């Protein structure tokens, strides 16, 4: 079903190398994304990550960083 991709991409070796390159890029993106989320969670402590899972977000009165549509 995907045999047409091998000649299109330049042979089995190139398909193999593209596959590994894309797989590593996805893995690096996931690790970088998790790092940024954990860093944001530690730095701001506004329960943003918890609100992604549970729903409600902590918005304190006078919080200038909160979006207008939340409060």
Structural domain contains residue 65: no
Which residue did the predictor score with more confidence, 67 or 13? Answer: 13
pLDDT 10s digits, 49-71: 888 888 777 666 666 665 555 54
Place of tokens 């979006």: 67
| Structural domain of 25 | 5-54
In-domain check, residue 62: no
Please tell me the pTM assigned to this model.
0.64
- Rg of the chain over all Cα atoms, to the nearest angstrom: 21
Alpha-carbon span 66 to 71, nearest angstrom: 8
The answer to whether residue 48 is domain-embedded is yes
State the total domains in the chain.
1
In angstroms, how far is CA 8 from the centroid of its own chain? 30
Q: Which one is predicted more confidently, 71 or 6?
A: 6
């Amino acid at each position: 079903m995907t045999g047409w991709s091998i000649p299109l991409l330049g042979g089995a070796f190139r398909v193999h190398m593209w596959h590994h390159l894309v797989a590593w890029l996805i893995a690096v993106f996931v690790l970088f994304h998790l790092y940024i989320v954990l860093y944001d969670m530690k730095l701001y402590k506004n329960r943003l990550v918890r609100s992604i899972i549970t729903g409600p977000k902590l918005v304190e009165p006078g919080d200038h960083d909160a979006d207008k549509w939340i409060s």
